[in-house]
Structure 1
Amino acid sequence: MGERGYGTLVTLTRVKVLDPANPNKSTAIFGGKASGILNWNELKYPHFYTLRQQIRSLFWTANEVDMTQDVKQFPTLTIAEQDAFLKIIGLLATLDGPQTDIAARLSHLSTDPSVKSLMATIADQESEHNHSYAYVLSSVTTYDKQVESFEMGRTDEVLMRRNKRIVEVYNEFAERPSIGSALKAMVYTTLLEGLFFYSGFAFFYNLARNQKMVGTSTMISYINRDELQHGRAISDIFRATLAENPSYNTEGFTAWVYDQFDHSVEQEIIWSRYVLGEIDGIDMEEMAGYIKYRANKMLRMLGLSEMYPEYTKNPMRWIKAYVDSFDDTKTDFFEQASRQYVKTSDLNGFDDL
């Protein structure tokens, strides 16, 4: 039985906690052999140690952010700003909640203990992101409004249409874990980390540049910083998994990835117009260009060519003031003439990412 355009179906099951008959150095990220003993000085992919160190260096907690001024300012926002604020928090909570679970599921199915550790670190940060949205709302609005905001992910029709494919891909991975469904889940994880959050982030940064809700913007910048690193880590694990399983590196799968990006960009633009259309200071055409720019960056990180060559530079340059400079991606390694995945066949190749 094949797996939708691939070769033999490779199902995945939760691996043993310890299996001393296997080597400490994992033989593969999924479906391999490893004892479960993690020696950071003996890894199949030493690059994963660097990723974990970078992510751990960003540690923060929501209650470190002073919300005093935001509490006073929220009632002074326009009705449109208040409505967008609550809708966007609802979106972010809808996306970040499942990210904790997805990271844990990838960890449970991986036979590489360094990936398990990396996913545990990411899962912990995603959990804090979700907590931060509740923290923000509890600071600035009533309990009923907080509940309403978190209900949006399953009640707002525009948001539900926007998230339909995410639900399908994530649930397929949860219900039928395999190499193929894991690769698809990682594609959508990079979309979440590198594209789906960004019109929402722009809203909060736009408030901050008008001296509004600076505490919330500070919180969002911390989350933004984390998500950039998470997207980088997941894209690297994706590429390593693909290199280990070359039967999945097909034109059909590549076409599927491009289709998901095209659909996601379309839905993100629809969502941004729905939630930001009445917000002063955000130009909708610039926002659409920014979304396409973000899509190009994430495609390069996955090892694919850009879909929107006219958006290789950020059209909303003012956002750079609110995001750390490590957002810059080394693009030269990824700019390939053909629309095929960059094959990384050995472990040291990841040092060039």
Structure 2
Amino acid sequence: MSDVLLEKAKTMEPRNPNKATKVFGGKSSGILNWNDIKYPHWYKMYKRLVGNYWQADEINMFSDVKQFPMLTEAEQDAYLKVIGLLSTLDAPQTRTALLLSLYATDPSVQSILAVISQQEAVHNESYSYVLSSVVTLKEQNEAFELGRKNPILLKRNERLITGYNEFVENPTVENILKTLVYTSLLEGLFFYSGFAFFYHLARENKMVGTSTMISYINRDELEHGKFISELFRATLAEYPEHNNKDFIDWVYQEFKVAVDMEMEWSNYVLSDVDGMDLNQMQGYIQYRANKMLRLLGLSEIYPDNVENPMKWIRAYVDNIDGTKTDFFEQKSRQYTKTSDLNGFDDL
């Protein structure tokens, strides 16, 4: 399918209407009136995102500093590898959100992506923060090198990297749609075996500061994934020529490959961690894939895992299904601001 290269959206064009004609490749003046946007409910999304503001160094890591040396060798290894994974995934998201915003002709999309980009920067900082709390600089650097050197992680991220770079080199509508699919996979699937590992530790009263940080990141990612899926659906509706069997089959194939890669990664990194049920984890990964496909407006592909097989996770993070959880109760118990970095003033 031939696809015209998109131009970057102009910063200001007074001859165009304030309300954008399309999210990408349309016309708008660049003036944002939240009371007159093409998709009015996106203002509520913007408000929820802004309301999630937090900073990494507000979370007390004092207990984690003491507990990390007492973790098993397998738990320590998984801790460092999972942080390495998360940093590898979150680091490009700051830039990806910014790059998408450059081609967004809807100023409401630009604003929402700006907030998402800022939050991804906070996430990436938080990984440096937690590692600086518990290990040496040498070990921190080794964890952050995983994304460049670990063969399983490189294999796992290969398609994502290729897709993101293809959008940079050829900013077409089709490549924007594909980037939104990869972003949906990243925000809604790729993080989740890692998140589950930290919640597993928290269930055993281990590394609760880290798990609290992860729950904030998880909450953000749920909102990011929901908006990205809506942006995908809006773009596909505005460019119906791309809503064809070949493209939808491509989406399903990418999800299947992503699930296989995520299961391979979780088996590799969590197999020696006591108490981790890897069969249940595989079901959870498939459940997350089904969930993200529904958000994209597509059908589930794993009928055995339509429901969450790891319901205990809901106690640690908000759920965009509308399920009430005790996240804010957890926050009042675990979220302790400190006057200095990492709680070291308590030592």
Normalised by the length of structure 1, the TM-score is 0.90
Whether 2:15 is the aligned partner of 1:21: answer: yes
Whether 2:90 is the aligned partner of 1:96: answer: yes
Whether 2:75 is the aligned partner of 1:54: answer: no
Structure 1 Cα separation of the partners of residues 322 and 148 of structure 2: 35
Structure 2 Cα separation of the partners of residues 175 and 12 of structure 1: 11
Instruction: Please say if residues 228 and 327 of structure 1, whose CA atoms lie closer than 8 Å, have aligned partners that are also in contact.
Output: no
Structure 2 Cα separation of the partners of residues 111 and 27 of structure 1: 8
Q: What is the aligned partner in structure 1 of residue 337 from structure 2?
A: none
Structure 1 segments of 4 or more deviating over 4 A? none
Q: Cα–Cα, structure 1 residues 325 and 228, in superposed 2: closer, same or farther, change >3 Å?
A: closer
Whether 2:156 is the aligned partner of 1:170: answer: no
Q: Which has the higher contact order (CA 8 A, sep 6+)?
A: 2
Q: What is the aligned partner in structure 1 of residue 192 from structure 2?
A: 198
What are the Cα deviations for residues 4-47 of structure 1, in whole angstroms up to 9, with x where unaligned?
xxxxx121121211111111111101110011111111101112
Q: What is the aligned partner in structure 1 of residue 284 from structure 2?
A: 290
- For residue 326 of structure 1, give the secondary structure of its aligned residue in structure 2: coil
Q: What is the aligned partner in structure 1 of residue 332 from structure 2?
A: none
Structure 1 Cα separation of the partners of residues 319 and 254 of structure 2: 28
Residue 317 of structure 1: how far off its partner (Å)? 1.7
Q: What is the aligned partner in structure 1 of residue 203 from structure 2?
A: 209
Whether 2:207 is the aligned partner of 1:228: answer: no
Structure 2 Cα separation of the partners of residues 325 and 228 of structure 1: 7
Residue 325 of structure 1: how far off its partner (Å)? 3.8
- For residue 34 of structure 1, give the secondary structure of its aligned residue in structure 2: coil
Whether 2:202 is the aligned partner of 1:241: answer: no
Q: What is the aligned partner in structure 1 of residue 181 from structure 2?
A: 187
Structure 2 Cα separation of the partners of residues 98 and 155 of structure 1: 17
Q: What is the aligned partner in structure 2 of residue 324 from structure 1?
A: 318
Structure 2 Cα separation of the partners of residues 320 and 209 of structure 1: 12
Instruction: Please say if residues 61 and 128 of structure 1, whose CA atoms lie closer than 8 Å, have aligned partners that are also in contact.
Output: yes
Q: Mind listing any 5+ residue stretches in structure 1 that lack a counterpart?
A: 4-8, 330-353
Structure 2 Cα separation of the partners of residues 266 and 281 of structure 1: 22
> Which residue identity is paired with 2:236?
L
Instruction: Please say if residues 261 and 295 of structure 1, whose CA atoms lie closer than 8 Å, have aligned partners that are also in contact.
Output: yes
Structure 2 Cα separation of the partners of residues 61 and 101 of structure 1: 19
1:9-48 map, 5 Å: 9-48=3-42
Residue 197 of structure 1: how far off its partner (Å)? 0.2
Residue number among 114, 120, 142 corresponding to 2:108 in the alignment: 114
Instruction: Please say if residues 8 and 102 of structure 2, whose CA atoms lie closer than 8 Å, have aligned partners that are also in contact.
Output: yes
Structure 2 Cα separation of the partners of residues 65 and 106 of structure 1: 31
What are the Cα deviations for residues 70-129 of structure 1, in whole angstroms up to 9, with x where unaligned?
011111111111110000000000000111111001101110000000000000000000
Instruction: Please say if residues 222 and 319 of structure 2, whose CA atoms lie closer than 8 Å, have aligned partners that are also in contact.
Output: no
Whether 2:94 is the aligned partner of 1:136: answer: no
Q: What is the aligned partner in structure 2 of residue 315 from structure 1?
A: 309
Percentage of identical aligned residues: 59
> Which residue identity is paired with 2:48?
Q
Residue number among 49, 71, 76 corresponding to 2:70 in the alignment: 76
Q: What is the aligned partner in structure 1 of residue 297 from structure 2?
A: 303
What are the Cα deviations for residues 258-295 of structure 1, in whole angstroms up to 9, with x where unaligned?
00000000000000000000011111100000000000
Residue 326 of structure 1: how far off its partner (Å)? 3.4
Structure 2 Cα separation of the partners of residues 205 and 211 of structure 1: 9
> Which residue identity is paired with 1:31?
G
> Which residue identity is paired with 2:198?
F
How many aligned positions are there?
Answer: 323
Residue number among 244, 251, 254 corresponding to 1:250 in the alignment: 244
- For residue 163 of structure 1, give the secondary structure of its aligned residue in structure 2: helix
CA-based RMSD of the aligned residues comes to 0.9
Structure 1 Cα separation of the partners of residues 165 and 41 of structure 2: 30
Q: Mind listing any 5+ residue stretches in structure 2 that lack a counterpart?
A: 324-347
Instruction: Please say if residues 207 and 213 of structure 1, whose CA atoms lie closer than 8 Å, have aligned partners that are also in contact.
Output: yes
> Which residue identity is paired with 1:159?
L
Structure 1 Cα separation of the partners of residues 157 and 319 of structure 2: 29
Structure 2 Cα separation of the partners of residues 317 and 181 of structure 1: 35
Q: Cα–Cα, structure 1 residues 102 and 166, in superposed 2: closer, same or farther, change >3 Å?
A: same
